[in-house]
């Protein structure tokens, strides 16, 4: 998916919402736990209920890999079920030496047909470059994450800058705004304005709104650029909004609340 098409979808839907399908088999409604294909049925109903309110879905591969071969099959079928109009993210946090990253890129872009995959930059340029060789595909690079452990490395001072600032600036030069995004946690909203000075035109994938306490208003005010340039991911607050047979309708209600708030921040 191109940047132009993604931006077009955002303006058409008045939404930069990304729904996270971090589907845990033990947390889906009990009536679905008895289904032989309960996780996939859960995902289908969530997608059907929210697809007009969001522009992207993020599948956290760990929840599917933990189920073994069955999980990979569910992940592939879920991704195929998401409409082609939506940006499809594999939240897999890959990153290894070049020939290994070649295979990761092939797995997520060719076999599973995702539009983007999250990657870790710690091993340097040759671990990221393979993900940048696919036209219309994206590497979403970990920049400043919302977990407490981000203090351990990301926020170490390197000269006059933090390490995460050095990483974002350098990685931005390996690709373009057309194929590189950055993960910036919503609980670090106060730093987004500074990050925008480094990458004013790149998209930012922002997790952490919802259960983690991030503020959509703060993220939006600090991060929106001329093409909006944000994908705000909400996972548990939407997909686990309800635990009964009406769970999809309840998920839709929460997704709609986020979308309606986003309308206020999108400039025509």
Determine, yes or no, domain membership for 58.
yes
**Alpha carbon distance 132, 180 (integer Å):** 8
Q: Is 138 helix (H, G, I), strand (E, B) or coil?
A: strand
Active site residue 177: no
Q: With the C-alpha atoms ordered 75, 209, 217, 178, is the resulting torsion angle positive or negative?
A: negative
DSSP secondary structure letters along 7-75 = HHHHHHHT--EEEE----TTTS-HHHHTSTTHHHHHHHHHHHHHTTT-SEEEEEHHHHHTTTHHHHHHH
In tens digits, the chain (268 residues) has pLDDT values of: 999 999 999 999 999 999 999 999 999 999 999 888 999 999 999 999 999 999 999 999 999 999 999 999 999 999 999 999 999 999 999 999 989 999 999 999 999 999 999 999 999 999 999 999 999 999 999 999 888 888 889 889 888 889 999 999 999 999 999 999 999 987 777 889 999 999 999 999 999 887 677 789 999 999 999 899 999 999 999 999 999 999 999 999 999 999 999 999 997 6
CATH at 69: 3.20.20.70
Tell me if 268 is assigned to some domain: no
**120 lies in a domain?**
yes
Catalytic residue among 14, 44, 93, 177: 93
Helix (H, G, I), strand (E, B) or coil at 168: helix
Q: Could you tell me the CA-to-CA distances from 207 to 37, 146, 171, 182 in Å, in that order?
A: 28, 8, 20, 11
Question: Is the residue at 210 inside a domain?
Answer: yes
pTM of this structure: 0.95
Q: How far apart are CA 89 and CA 190, in angstroms?
A: 25
153 belongs to a structural domain: yes
What domain range is 19 assigned to? 3-263
Quote the DSSP letter at residue 186: G
Question: Is 156 contained in some domain?
Answer: yes
**Count of domains for the chain:** 1
Give residue for tokens 């797995």. Answer: 107
* Token representation of residue 22: 């971090």
Residue 38 token pair: 């309960």
The bridge status of strand 204-206 relative to strand 157-158 is unpaired
Residue 158, classed as helix, strand or coil, is: strand
Q: Is residue 35 part of a domain?
A: yes
Tokens of 112: 């599973």
Helix, coil or strand: residue 93: strand
């Amino acid at each position: 998916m191109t940047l132009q098409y993604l931006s077009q979808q955002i303006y058409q839907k008045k939404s930069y919402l990304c729904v996270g399908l971090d589907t845990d088999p033990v947390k889906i409604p009990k009536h679905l736990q008895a289904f032989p294909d309960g996780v996939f049925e859960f995902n289908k109903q969530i997608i059907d209920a929210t697809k007009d309110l969001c522009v992207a879905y993020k599948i956290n591969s760990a929840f599917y890999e933990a189920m073994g071969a069955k999980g990979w099959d569910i992940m592939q079928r879920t991704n195929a079920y998401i409409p082609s109009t939506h940006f499809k993210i594999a939240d897999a946090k890959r990153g290894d030496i070049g020939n290994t990253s070649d295979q990761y890129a092939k797995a997520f872009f060719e076999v599973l047909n995702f539009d983007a995959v999250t990657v870790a930059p710690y091993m340097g340029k040759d671990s990221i470059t393979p993900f940048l060789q696919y036209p219309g595909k994206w590497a979403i690079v970990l920049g400043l994450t919302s977990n407490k452990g981000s203090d351990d490395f990301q926020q170490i001072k390197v000269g006059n800058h933090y390490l995460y600032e050095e990483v974002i600036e350098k990685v931005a030069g390996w690709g373009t705004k057309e194929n590189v995004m950055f993960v910036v946690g919503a609980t670090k909203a106060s730093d987004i304005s500074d990050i925008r000075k480094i990458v004013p035109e790149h998209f930012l994938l922002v997790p952490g709104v919802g259960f983690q306490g991030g503020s959509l208003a703060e993220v939006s005010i600090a991060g929106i650029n001329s093409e909006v340039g944000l994908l705000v991911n909400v996972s548990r607050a939407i997909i686990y909004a309800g635990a009964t047979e009406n769970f999809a309708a309840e998920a839709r209600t929460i997704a709609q609340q986020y979308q309606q708030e986003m309308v206020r921040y999108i400039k025509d």
